[in-house]
A and B are shown apart, each in its own frame.
Chain A
Amino acid sequence: NAGVTQTPKFQVLKTGQSMTLQCAQDMNHNSMYWYRQDPGMGLRLIYYSASEGTTDKGEVPNGYNVSRLNKREFSLRLESAAPSQTSVYFCASSITGEKLFFGSGTQLSVL
Chain B
Amino acid sequence: DQQVKQNSPSLSVQEGRISILNCDYTNSMFDYFLWYKKYPAEGPTFLISISSIKDKNEDGRFTVFLNKSAKHLSLHIVPSQPGDSAVYFCAAGDPKAAGNKLTFGGGTRVLVKP
Contact = CB atoms under 8 A, between A and B. Distances in A.
Interface of A: 4, 31, 33, 35, 40-45, 48, 50, 56, 58, 90, 92, 96-105
A48 B106 contact: no
Contacts of A100: 36, 44, 46, 102
B100 interface: yes
A56 to B, nearest CB: 6
A96 B4 CA distance: 21
Contacts of B49: 98-99
Contact of B100 (A4, A40, A97): A97
Contact of A105 (B34, B42, B103, B104): B42
B43 A45 contact: no
B41 interface: yes
Interface of B: 2, 4, 6, 9, 32, 34, 36, 41-46, 49, 89, 91, 93, 95, 98-107
Contacts of B46: 99-101
A99 B100 CA distance: 11
Contact of B101 (A4, A33, A40, A103): A33
Contact of B34 (A40, A41, A90, A98): A98
Given A56-B98, A105-B42, A98 B107 contact: no
Contacts of B100: 31, 50, 96-98
A97 B42 contact: no
B93 A97 contact: yes
7 contacts: A33-B101, A42-B2, A42-B89, A56-B98, A97-B101, A98-B49, A105-B42
B34 A43 contact: no
A102 B46 CA distance: 9
Nearest to A103: B43
Nearest to A49: B99
Contacts of A103: 43
A21 to B, nearest CB: 13
B104 A42 contact: yes
A101 B32 CA distance: 17
